Structures are given as C-alpha cells and as structure tokens.
Structure 1
C-alpha cells in the first residue's frame, strides 16, 4: 500500500513541528502538515480554558472534555478524507490517551497507508525547549514525554534530542516506499 500519511506522535516541545517541516522540505512530492496545535487554534475561544473543551493546567496537565473530543473526531475524519482523496499528509499530534488516541487516528485513516512515527526526546531537552519557547505551560513537556507513547505501536522511532530535524526526516523518508528523498 502506498503511504499517504505520516503520523508523528510525541510530547510537547519534542520537535514534531520542526521535524514535519524538515520532512516537507526533503520529500519530492508536496506533503501537507496538520498539527494538533493548528486544531486547537481553530477552536472557538469558548472551548479553550473550559471543562467541556480543553484546559491547560498550571502544572502542565491537559484536560479535555466532550466538546473537544467531538470536534477533534470531526477534524480527524476530515484529514482522513483528504488522504483517501490522494493528498499526502503529515500529522503532528500528541497522543494524550496513548494507544486510545492512536486507535482514533486508525479509524479516521481507514483505507490509508500510514507510517506511524514515535518522536522521542529526553525530558530535560524538551523542558529546556519549552522554557525557551515561552508559549507553553512549563511542566507539560516533562509530563508528556513518556505518557504519549504508552502502548502505542510505531513503524519507526526517532530521537530529536540526538538528531537534527533534517537527520530525523531523512530517517523517516527512507521508510516511505517510492518516496526517495530529494538530494539523496
């Protein structure tokens, strides 16, 4: 099966967005990137900071409610429809529910060839990135570093604490059949 979707799963500040951009730059065909941060930014304000939407705790915890889950399911189905229509998609997500989150994506991506990629990064490195960014609640990166990988099955794992985005992207590109990276 031809792979039309690459799912990058890792904790906050693990380097998923930089990796997705590096992968887009490396692959010869156009790949669209959709990240969970884009989805959260698209939500109406009433669903951010609300018990029925998504709430970011002072300690780095994230709580999600029923309205968030409903909208996220619709977003996932939309991305799945684009991939089934032939678009090549890179998904940048944080599986707060571990294997349950992966299962939701599996359902949304039914009929699509998917490369599942675990994006790991040492908690100390992710936390330093989080502090440098200034747009995240400190503690989120450390809290999510292992949580998001619980019982998740991957085709490949990369370590953005020891690899540059370009190196990790090259590693991923070599796992995409019929997608030789440019310049390789």
Structure 2
C-alpha cells in the first residue's frame, strides 16, 4: 500500500510551495507530482494548443484520464506520492477514489483568500485569468477532507500541520469511504 498526500486547492493557492517543503521534510521518500510538472516538462505541445493548431477541449479528457491512470500505476508500484491537483471536473473524485482505494490517501484542502488567489494568478502569468476565482467558488463543494489548511498561516506551519495529521492513522475524507 502506497501513501498519498493529496493537496487539493484552487489554482495559485500555494499547493506547490507546500508540496516542495513537505517533500523536503517528510521522513520517507515521496514523489511530488502535478499537472504543472507535465506542462513545464514539455510533455504537452502547448504552443500548438495556444496557436489553435490543436484544440485543448478535444484533448483534455484523454490527457486527464491518462494522468489519473498514471497516479494509480505509480502508487500500485509502491511509490508514495505528494499529489497536487484540482478536482474541477465532475466524476474525477469518484474515479480517483476508486483507482486509489487500496492506498492510504490523506486528503488535504488548501484554502487561500480570494483576493490573494487573484493577485497570485495575475502575477504568475501562466494561468487563465478567472480560473482561481472559479476554483475558489466550486472545487471544495461536496468534499470531505482529512485536514484543511489556510495558506496565510505560512508554509512552515502548514507543513508541520500536514505532517502531524498524516502521521495519524485515522482517515475520514472522501477517499476513505472507498478504501478496500
């Protein structure tokens, strides 16, 4: 059984910052994986999507289906994961809950004030303007977490909180009800 720390929050909420520090401090080897890693590595032909040569909406489902399947494959092979992801599409929670059911998933909500999300989104320049606000308003609805963080508490406090919570064996999130 692999261990997965799933950081779920709006675009620009601070998931990557928490994940990097968590990976540096946790006592076991964990992969840090996200869509941003794939995007930044050149896996996707972004310039061709941006130019309109390829249509992202036609490729999006296959991309995410493959990403989600890869997460299960990594965990099934025995790799511990720090996953940062945004469950912004109906059915994704159920799909991942099912495919990761045999693993220990610690589901963490990453919250950030809307004004700060909008500011970060604008400063980054690599996000679709408005996505942070949309995420802020929708992605946490109907989900139950093992832990909830506020990024204004600071990365050190948040990482310490995640580590303390993860070390507990009790899970009560949307993922734990699917556990085998």
Which TM-score applies when normalising by structure 2?
Answer: 0.80
Unaligned runs of 5+ in 1: 55-64, 180-184
Match of 1:136 in 2: 127
Deviates more, 1:120-129 or 1:32-41: 32-41
1:163 paired with 2:169, answer no
Query: Are the equivalent residues in 1 in contact too, given 2:3–2:81 (CA < 8 A)?
Result: yes
For residues 66 and 126 of structure 2, the distance between their equivalents in structure 1, rounded to whole angstroms, comes to 26
Which TM-score applies when normalising by structure 1?
Answer: 0.79
1:28 paired with 2:20, answer no
Return the offset for 1:117.
0.7
Unaligned runs of 5+ in 2: 170-180
Shift in CA distance, 31/87, structure 1 to aligned 2, threshold 3 Å: same
Equivalent of 1:88 in 71, 77, 80: 80
Return the offset for 1:154.
1.1
1:97 paired with 2:89, answer yes
Please, what is the CA RMSD of the aligned residues?
2.5
Q: Any idea what SS the aligned residue of 2:165 has?
A: coil
Q: Any idea what SS the aligned residue of 1:176 has?
A: helix
Equivalent of 2:143 in 139, 147, 152: 152
Report the count of equivalent residues. Answer: 166
Return the offset for 1:176.
1.8
Post-superposition, which runs of at least 4 consecutive aligned residues in structure 1 deviate over 6 A? none
Deviation per residue, 1:93-146 (Å, 9 max, x gap): 111126x32212212313111001111111101111112222223322122112
Equivalent of 1:118 in 94, 109, 115: 109
Match of 1:69 in 2: 61
Greater percentage in helix: 2
